[in-house]
Chain A
Amino acid sequence: MTAVEFLMLTKGPLFQAALAVFALGVLVRLVEILALGRAHNYAAPRGSAALGGLRTMYKRFEPDPGTFKAAPFDVVVGMVWHIGFIVALLLFIPHVELIKSTFGIAWPALPNPVVDAITAITILGLLAALVHRLAHPVKRFLSTPEDYLIWGVTFLVMITGYLAYHRLINPYPLALGIHILAAEIFLVVLPFTKLTHMFTAFVARYYNGATFGRKGVQS
């Protein structure tokens, strides 16, 4: 198989297949969560559950000062690479073009050198996060093979993207194909692992905020 054939395979049928597994899988996960429902709450509310839920969906992006003091490394590194990942995913011009062609919506993108720098920082952040996971007693204790798997597929997407952008693998169609394949692995793995937190975290935050909001506490 030539590099161009490989690229066409990853861009064509494999991409379609990965996208189908991703869309189907994520919706199965979300709907199966929501379909479980909640018991009716008879207690008289003190505050608004819905407003509390919506606020918490946003508020958990801001770490509370006590947590920052207790675990500054987690907070900073975690935020840095999450933001970096999302920026690289959504604000890199080739990705915007891809989204436009797939979903029909587009938005302004960032200059390539900016995305490049952010990607480099994100890769360093991911490496730091792995070292921390291996070294920190609590993280090491909690970690399962799945945690390392999702780190791996995330790292693979970032590093292959970086290598392709800098044309460090030759020929370029091979580099691009590898990156697209890595993204497809990410998409396929996502619904079956805790990578679903990309979506379910907002559901979780809503329920958390709604439970506390009903009692008049902004969580």
Chain B
Amino acid sequence: MVTASPHRPDGRPAPARQATLGESLRRNGVSRRGFLKFCAATASMMALPPSMAPAIAAALESARRPSVIWLSFQECTGCTESLTRSFSPTVENLILDTISLDYHHTLQAAAGDAAEHAREAAMHANAGEYLVVVDGSLPGPGANPGYSTIAGISNYDMLMETVADAAAVIAVGSCAAFGGLPKASPNPSGAVAVQDLVKDKPVINVSGCPPLPMVITGVLAQYLTFGKLPELDQYNRPLAFFGQSIHDRCYRRPFYDKGLFAETFDDEGAKKGWCLYRLGCKGPMTYNACATMKWNGGTSWPVEAGAPCLGCSEPDFWDAGGFYDALSVPPGNSGDMLLAAGAAGVAVGAGVGLLARSQAKGAAKQHQTVTAEELEQKL
């Protein structure tokens, strides 16, 4: 069943001295049943069907440890928190152990110059091979670079320099993927997303505020396992996780279809677990895997906790209307505008109508009486 293959599927030459994942696992005393179990769990994590486990096993046997450089810009560390607080450490740890996280502000011991040297060293050693993970947005090339710098280097310069020799870029979190909170109106720091700047390398967006930990590791696992980029949607998000909307996978969907809705957070409907559409749920327009993967090790997720989906994995969700306004409700106040337009309508209508009326009256003044005499002339 487990057929070890000596070559990577893509035939790329593996860097020397590095053990394959299979070797590394067996050296750690993982049995073949353990490996099978690992593959089953990995398939689950990558949102692949369980029948893919043997393929994963075959690929992992020969997978090499990639070098990863993690750049944090205008962010809140929520994405890193999400990743490190993951609740099924065995699998994720194995993945993280397998990758070579050569630079990560928050997690690495080194600081200052030493840290920057580590980054540069990893870039040189793995030129063309390494992955760049970015969390946070960054001030665009036209904006004041002083809004965010690391070791005196502007975010923009650091990103462009690091990305130059990368194999691919993974933008983790809605800030890196779409600009997120820093880019929300009025966007004082001129924030932009990674994909706005990186045009010549593949960019994978793992959006969410924060993204599901399993999705972050799942994307890494997929790259690691198959050595290629996953299939992406129009926002460059992996279809395996972002292919279906929250609404389509929501366990409360049957209530939407039946027309049973919670109208307040504490009414009967809310207690019975009815649909949260009217409380502002953005599930119908939000594409993410929360409804099946859930949070906190599969414990629950916002809708299950009775909170409407905020749509955090969609572009510009901060500016997409009130979190607790139904999806069909337009942002802003239409009422005053309607009154003003209505009043103007009445005024214009009255003006035009009275003009027309005076026209009819004027015509009546010009009326020439029809007489029998003039009718007779016709005969």
Contact = CB atoms under 8 A, between A and B. Distances in A.
B345 A23 contact: yes
Given A5-B316, A12-B331, A111-B259, A37 B285 contact: no
Contacts of B326: 94, 97-98, 101
B345 A25 contact: yes
B276 to A, nearest CB: 12
Contact of A35 (B260, B314, B328, B357): B357
B162 to A, nearest CB: 26
Contact of A36 (B233, B285, B356): B356
Interface in A1-49: 2-5, 7-8, 11-12, 15-16, 19-37
Given A23-B341, A35-B350, A111-B259, A98 B285 contact: no
B259 A113 contact: yes
B335 A4 contact: no
Contact of A23 (B314, B325, B338): B338
Contacts of B317: 4
Nearest to B283: A172
A36 B261 CA distance: 48
Contacts of A101: 325-326, 329-330, 334
A11 B349 contact: no
Contact of B331 (A11, A36, A171): A11
B356 A35 contact: yes
A4 B285 contact: yes
Contacts of B315: 2, 4-5
B230 interface: no
A193 interface: no
A97 B328 contact: yes
B52 interface: no
Interface in B293-329: 314-317, 319-321, 325-329
B332 A16 contact: yes
Contact of A33 (B233, B261, B314, B353): B353
A95 interface: yes
Nearest to B278: A97
A103 B329 CA distance: 11
Interface in B46-89: none
Nearest to B263: A106
A31 B353 contact: yes
B334 A8 contact: no
A142 B345 CA distance: 31
B342 interface: yes
Given A5-B316, A24-B348, A32-B349, A93 B330 contact: no
B259 A109 contact: yes
A110 interface: yes
A114 interface: yes
B75 to A, nearest CB: 21
Contacts of A25: 345
Contacts of B353: 31-36
Contacts of A4: 285, 314-317, 320
A97 B325 CA distance: 8
Contacts of B335: 102-104
Nearest to A104: B335
A24 B341 contact: yes
A78 interface: no
Question: Which of A8, A32, A111 has its CB near the most chain B CB atoms (within 10 A)?
Answer: A32
Given A4-B320, A36-B353, A113-B259, A97 B330 contact: no
A96 to B, nearest CB: 9
A7 B349 contact: no
Given A23-B341, A28-B348, A112-B259, A35 B354 contact: yes
Nearest to A21: B341
Contacts of A93: 259, 261, 277-278
A37 B357 contact: yes
B147 interface: no
A112 B255 CA distance: 10
B234 A3 contact: yes
Contacts of B334: 15-16, 19, 101-102
B325 A114 contact: no
B350 to A, nearest CB: 5
A171 B234 contact: yes
A31 B352 CA distance: 8
Contacts of B346: 27, 31
A180 to B, nearest CB: 8
A167 interface: yes
Contact of A94 (B258, B277, B341): B277
Interface string B133-154: 0000000000000000000000
Contacts of B24: none
A36 B363 CA distance: 13
22 contacts: A3-B234, A4-B285, A4-B316, A8-B331, A16-B334, A27-B342, A29-B349, A31-B346, A31-B350, A35-B354, A93-B278, A94-B277, A98-B330, A102-B335, A104-B335, A109-B259, A112-B258, A112-B259, A171-B234, A171-B285, A173-B285, A173-B314
Given A102-B330, A103-B338, A114-B259, 5 more contacts: A12-B332, A20-B340, A22-B341, A27-B349, A97-B325
